């Protein structure tokens, strides 16, 4: 529908009548070229905003409109990043952060998915746990950190648990909602053919909830990055979050910005990965971008 | 009255996609529709009837050729459309759904109210003005969709299988209602249907389209005087014409690519 916004101008409007001429436009006359131009335009627009922002930042820093000690320009940050990468520190930090996200995130998500499906399928279990879990859902997970430190001591476990719990809730609530909302007709059809239990799950319920699961996964990935960085701020001695906080306490602005930019890029790439996998895992879903109808 | 045809379709073609995934939906379509004429279009699934309707409605553009639609100078859009799937809004009441289509016309409030009331009454919806679509039956919902298109009082009305989702009895009721409504208040209508009986009952002309790529392969004048009643169904001429249309259409239905009809229809 995107191609129709500009309606065709009427060619002739006399006093009494108006003639609407509906004729091919650029998109119809040379569709291949139009599609290519559209694609290029999308890429350019996507790149334009960060480039303009970075250029302005660099300029502001060089011209000393802003204090370069706290706001060093991108060029200085890139140099700092080069040093960090060369020393192996950057890789170690990224590795530590990614490890937490992957380990805690995957376990949390799978458990949430599992419980969501079970609770969606069995009303008794749903009624047994939903109120308690809903109450817990709204508690900021970071508020549980002191409690976890008390129970598990200082180490990696409390941080991993927090990330896992947060991701768990996102997966659980989305999955439950999706399972409950699977159209009754799908269930009746499988029931009428005697397809039940694990087979019904694999052939009907899982594909039906998959689009919602991937939306949840995108949200969960974002959350996992945020909580991981937060936990690294507060405790531990490695990871990007720790690096940002540590740099701040040493007034090392360059390293701090390298950390912040790394988090942003990491978050973006993880989202991209989920989108990429999602598009392949759910080939029957209509895509939100692209397509000419 | 102008002597120009109200809708003039010249060599219209429509191609979807590019390269190997390319699908030719329409090819060399030529058709004129006169002012106040009721033209029914029949054709196999996926023959591009709906695509053609969307092009006439200026919702899509053709890949080649041209469509000219002549309206009065004050028209906001070339035509009013009744869609296949109703597309009335579930969050608006019946009256608000009908009112919605007057939004772009910037009419005085009193006139909007009068027109909405008039068309709700004409379609037997007055008692349901404050109901939400979900509280209505399929037939009532389709009446809302028709009222929404009629209230614009556009000279040209496009209808895309408006009764396809209704059961056979209800379909007959709405056909007869539309017949008398149109005979009271003439418009130029292009009406798409799968139903030959419906096409003959309602139309001045029945245009037959081929399987994909869709093109006009037959144009039949319906030999019944206006105003006509539903009982013309019982006449021999009616059955004869229906048979003739079916013979023209039968081979096309077999070649018409059913599998991908969803994409183009």
Q: In what order do the strands lie in the sheet with B64-72?
A: A12-13, A17-22, B64-72, B7-16, B23-33
pTM: 0.74
How far apart are the CA of A124 and the nearest CA of chain B, in angstroms?
31
Cβ-contact B116, B154 below 8 angstroms: no
Residue A146 has pLDDT above 90, yes or no: no
- Give B 1-40 residues with CB within 8 A of chain A: 2, 4, 15-19
pLDDT in tens, A53-109: 999 999 998 888 888 888 888 888 899 999 989 998 899 999 999 999 999 999 999
Say if residue A201's pLDDT is above 50.
yes
Six token digits for residue B31: 């058709």
CB A232 within 8 A of CB A245: yes
Is the pLDDT score of A19 beyond 70? yes
Q: Which residues contact A237 (CB under 8 A, 6 or more apart)?
A: none
User: How confident is the model at residue B264, as a pLDDT?
Assistant: 42
- Contact with chain A for residue B224, Cβ under 8 A: no
Q: Tell me: pLDDT of B76 over 90.
A: no
| CATH code of domain B7-79+155-264 | 3.40.50.300
Res B6 pLDDT > 50 = yes
**CB < 8 Å to B59, chain A:** 1, 4
Which residues sit opposite A158 in a β-bridge?
none
CATH class of the region A74-281: mainly alpha
Q: Please compute the mean of the pLDDT values over residues A36-50 and round it to a whole number.
A: 92
Look at residue A225 and tell me whether its pLDDT is greater than 80: yes
Q: Structural domain boundaries of chain B?
A: 7-79+155-264, 91-153
B144-158 pLDDT, tens digit per residue, is 998 998 888 888 999
Most confidently modeled range among A71-85, A109-123, A185-199, A230-244: A109-123
Q: How sure is the predictor about A156, in pLDDT bands with cuts at 50, 70 and 90?
A: confident
Angle at B206 between CA B204 and CA B211, to 5 degrees: 165
Say what the pLDDT of residue B255 is. 57
* pLDDT computed for residue B259 by the predictor: 43
> How would you class A198 by CB atoms within 10 Å of its CB: exposed for 0-12, middle for 13-18, buried for 19 or more?
exposed
**Mean pLDDT on A208-224:** 93
Average per-residue pLDDT for chain A: 86
Report whether pLDDT(B193) > 50.
yes
Are B69 and A293 a contacting pair at CB < 8 A? no
Please tell me the predicted confidence (pLDDT) of residue B47.
Answer: 81
User: Strands, E, within chain B: which ranges?
Assistant: 7-16, 23-33, 38-42, 64-72, 80-82, 156-160, 188-192, 205-209, 216-221
Kindly state whether B162 is in contact with chain A, defined as any CB-CB distance less than 8 angstroms: no
- Please report the DSSP string for A147-161 in residue order: HHHHHH-SSSHHHHH
d(CA B63, CA B48): 13
Instruction: Give the mean pLDDT of B186-211.
Output: 91
Q: Do B18 and A31 touch (CB under 8 A)?
A: yes
Q: What are phi and psi of A291, to 5 degrees?
A: 85, 145
Q: Which two tokens stand for residue B254?
A: 């077999």
How high is the pLDDT of residue B78?
A: 86
Q: Token pair of A183, please?
A: 């159209």
Residue A17: is its pLDDT beyond 70?
yes
pLDDT score recorded for residue A3: 38
pLDDT of res. B204: 92
pLDDT at A29 > cutoff 60: yes
Q: What is the pLDDT of residues B121-134, one digit of tens each?
A: 888 899 998 999 88
* Position B192 pLDDT exceeds 80: yes
- For residue A128, pLDDT beyond 60: yes
Q: Chain B interface, mutation test: which of A1, A15, A16, A20, most B Cβ atoms within 10 Å?
A: A20
Q: Is the pLDDT confidence value at A1 over 70?
A: no
Map residue A12 onto helix, strand or coil: strand
| Burial class of residue A88, CB neighbours in 10 A (0-12, 13-18, 19+) | exposed
pLDDT digits (tens, 9 = 90+) for B7-62: 999 999 999 887 777 888 999 999 999 888 999 999 888 788 889 999 999 989 99
Domain ranges, ordered by start, for chain A: 29-71, 74-281
Q: What is the pLDDT of residue B3?
A: 46
DSSP letter, residue A283: T
Specify the pLDDT at position B86.
64
ipTM above 0.85, yes or no: no
Whether the Cβ atoms of residue B238 and residue B30 lie closer than 8 Å to each other = no
pLDDT confidence band for A157 (50 / 70 / 90): confident
């Amino acid at each position: 529908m995107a191609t129709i916004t500009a309606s065709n101008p009427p060619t002739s409007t006399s006093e009494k009548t108006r003639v609407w001429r509906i004729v091919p436009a650029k998109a119809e006359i040379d569709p291949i070229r139009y599609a290519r131009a559209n694609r290029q335009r999308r890429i350019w627009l996507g790149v334009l905003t960060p480039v303009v922002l970075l250029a302005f930042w660099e300029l502001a820093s060089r011209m000393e409109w802003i204090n370069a000690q706290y706001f060093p320009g991108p060029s200085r940050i890139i140099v700092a990043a080069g040093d960090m990468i060369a020393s192996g520190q950057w890789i170690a930090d990224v590795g530590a952060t990614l490890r937490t996200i992957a380990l805690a995130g995957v376990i949390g998500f799978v458990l949430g998915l599992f419980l969501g499906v079970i609770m969606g399928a069995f009303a008794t279990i749903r009624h047994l746990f939903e109120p308690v879990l809903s109450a817990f859902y709204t508690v900021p997970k970071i508020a549980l950190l002191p409690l976890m430190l008390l129970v598990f001591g200082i180490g990696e476990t409390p941080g991993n648990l927090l990330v896992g719990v947060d991701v768990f809730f996102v997966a659980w609530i989305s999955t439950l909602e999706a399972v409950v909302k699977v159209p009754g007709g799908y269930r009746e059809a499988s029931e009428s053919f005697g397809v039940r239990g694990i087979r019904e799950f694999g052939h009907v319920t899982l594909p039906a909830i998959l689009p919602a699961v991937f939306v949840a996964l995108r949200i969960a990935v974002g959350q996992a990055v945020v909580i991981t960085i937060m936990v690294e701020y507060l405790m531990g001695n490695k990871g990007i979050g720790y690096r940002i906080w540590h740099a701040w306490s040493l007034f090392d602005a360059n390293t701090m910005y390298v950390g912040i930019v790394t988090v942003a890029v990491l978050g973006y790439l993880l989202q991209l990965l989920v989108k990429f996998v999602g598009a392949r895992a759910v080939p029957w879903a209509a895509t939100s971008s692209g397509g000419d109808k | 009255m102008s002597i120009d045809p109200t809708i003039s379709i010249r060599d219209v073609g429509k191609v979807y996609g590019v390269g190997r995934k390319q699908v030719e939906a329409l090819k060399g379509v030529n058709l004129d529709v006169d002012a106040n004429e009721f033209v029914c279009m029949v054709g196999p699934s996926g023959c591009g009837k709906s695509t053609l309707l969307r092009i006439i409605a200026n919702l899509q553009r053709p890949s080649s050729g041209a469509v000219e639609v002549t309206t009065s100078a004050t028209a906001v859009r070339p035509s009013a459309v009744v869609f296949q799937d109703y597309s009335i809004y579930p969050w608006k009441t019946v009256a608000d759904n009908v009112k919605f289509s007057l939004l772009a016309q910037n009419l005085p409030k009193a006139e909007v109210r009068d027109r909405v009331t008039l068309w709700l009454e004409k379609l037997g919806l007055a008692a349901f003005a404050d109901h939400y679509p979900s509280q209505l039956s399929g037939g009532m919902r389709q009446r809302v969709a028709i009222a929404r298109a009629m209230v614009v009082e556009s000279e040209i009305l496009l209808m895309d299988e408006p009764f396809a989702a209704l059961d056979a009895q209800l379909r007959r009721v709405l056909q007869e209602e539309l017949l008398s409504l149109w005979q009271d208040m003439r418009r130029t209508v292009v009406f798409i249907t799968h139903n030959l009986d419906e096409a003959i009952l309602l139309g001045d002309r029945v245009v037959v389209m081929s399987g994909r790529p869709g093109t006009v392969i037959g144009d039949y004048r319906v030999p019944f005087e206006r105003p006509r009643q539903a009982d013309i169904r019982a006449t021999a001429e009616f059955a004869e014409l229906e048979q003739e249309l079916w013979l023209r259409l039968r081979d096309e239905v077999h070649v018409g690519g059913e599998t991908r009809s969803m994409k183009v229809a």
